[in-house]
Amino acid sequence: MKESRSQEGITVKKSENFSEWYTQVLQKAEMMDYTDVSGSIVIRPPAYFVWEKIQEYFNEKIKKLGVQNAYFPLLIPESLLNKEKEHVAGFNPEVAWVTHAGNTKLSERLAIRPTSETIMYSSFAKWIRSYRDLPLKLNQWNNVVRWEFKHPVPFLRTREFLWQEGHSAFASDAEATKEVKDILDIYASVFEDLLAVPVLRGRKSDKEKFAGADYTLSVETFLPNEKAAQGATSHALGQNFSQAFEISFLNEKGKKDFVWQTSWGLSTRSIGIMIATHGDDHGLILPPKVAQTQIVIVPIIFEKEKKSVLKKALEIKNKLKSFRVHLDDREWYAPGWKFHEWELKGIPIRLEIGPKDIQKKQVVLVRRDTGKKETVKLSVLNKKIKSVLEDIQKNLYKKARKFLNEHISVAKDINGAKKLIDSGKIAKVNWCDADSCEEEIKAKTNGAKTLNIPEKEKAKGKCFNCGKPAKVVVYIAKSY
């Protein structure tokens, strides 16, 4: 029988050729496939399951804040997109346009949604009349298209991707400010508690903030190829969009006022970040909380004992029904071949059972994260697996946190920062927070960017680059 492509194995080391390693893992672990449109990928079931788990987790959290899910159109009239000038200027280079229906030219170009502020806010303007209509908190799960001209990287930078985008309107700035921070906390928990990926929280610089926002908060991640990747963002929009779209209301004093708004988004980039963070030279490593299959049972089959081994393996599977379990009872593949396949696909736990194990009323348990093997009595298997899955989740986070911490170093001047960045680290510096200085930093560090500004840390002394009084502490690194 012809073996699948995944069985070729990973042919490069992660530390030596990250780009090729990442591409091989994605395809051979069956997380995605390419299409004929550059930058558009097929998200295969194991990866889409991760996205479903993110949706499930995130929906539960935001609904506790009073957010409701809705859906708005994919196509946005050009006139709407142009209503907020700073916003459209930020997105214009990335917008894909629909100009014809069949052979008929449209009277107005339609943008394929790069983000939904403009299409949503025209509805907000119709729905909101009084302070009694507030707050309005909506979220949608959808796809967007941003036609970047940079080299696409599956999940990490694609021209079409899936995400959620939340949009809220409030009667006061204080309410909006609170939500921006609450959402950032949820994003941090998605990465850290669900995906086992540590993040840096903070405020984006004015140059890196969302187009049209007063300010942007973000969670930033750092990958093993020593590049940062923005995880998610939460934006305080102030009254910028409400004034442009006439989203006004009569306040409690009977006077006209404009709403205060927020928007916030998390995308399928998170899946790529997770894969890049945890995988090793053997392939994928999935955090148990988001693994489509948490346990694979591989029976060790000999012709004489085949029926009894398969029967016991099925019994074990049925007893483990509180977990996501797969029984690999394919007889045409040798056990070693199966071990290799499930290791490559990142399944957290492998259980091996053969005739001798049946006699001893045990199984062999193998952890994907450490490769450790141990025998476990069937009488305590459920309890043991629960404990091991929890430990794998914690261990993956602990390892990733150690990597992040070891790659952050303080620099006192631009030369020190450049050396750190060139050596694949994040430079933590005191900074003046000026746009002109930020442009200089980017030029002097061969394109490194400010990631975000940790809000609880206070700056001391002078700016590391220009020497003016420092206002903030900021992280700087090469990034996607």
For the segment 456-470, the average pLDDT, to the nearest whole number, is 96
Q: Of 76-85, 339-348, 367-376, where does mean pLDDT reach its minimum?
A: 76-85
The single-letter code of the amino acid at 40 is S
CA 321 – CA 336 distance, rounded (Å): 26
Question: Which are the contacts of 81, defined by CB distance < 8 A and separation ≥ 6?
Answer: 88, 91, 95, 111, 118
The domains located in the chain, with CATH, are: 7-278 (3.30.930.10), 295-388 (3.40.50.800), 409-477 (3.30.110.30)
CA 461 – CA 467 distance, rounded (Å): 9
For the segment 359-378, the average pLDDT, to the nearest whole number, is 97
| pLDDT tier at 5, thresholds 50, 70, 90 | very low
Is the Cα torsion angle 407, 413, 419, 424 positive or negative in sign? positive
* Residue 81 pLDDT greater than 90, yes or no: no
CA Rg value for the chain: 25
- The number of residues making up the chain comes to 480
CA 54 – CA 315 distance, rounded (Å): 31
* Residue 2 pLDDT greater than 50, yes or no: no
pTM for the structure as a whole: 0.95
CA 290 – CA 194 distance, rounded (Å): 7
User: pLDDT tens across 399-426, in order?
Assistant: 999 999 999 999 999 999 999 999 999 9
| pLDDT tier at 86, thresholds 50, 70, 90 | confident
User: pLDDT tens across 425-451, in order?
Assistant: 999 999 999 999 999 999 999 999 999
| pLDDT tier at 177, thresholds 50, 70, 90 | very high
For the segment 214-243, the average pLDDT, to the nearest whole number, is 97
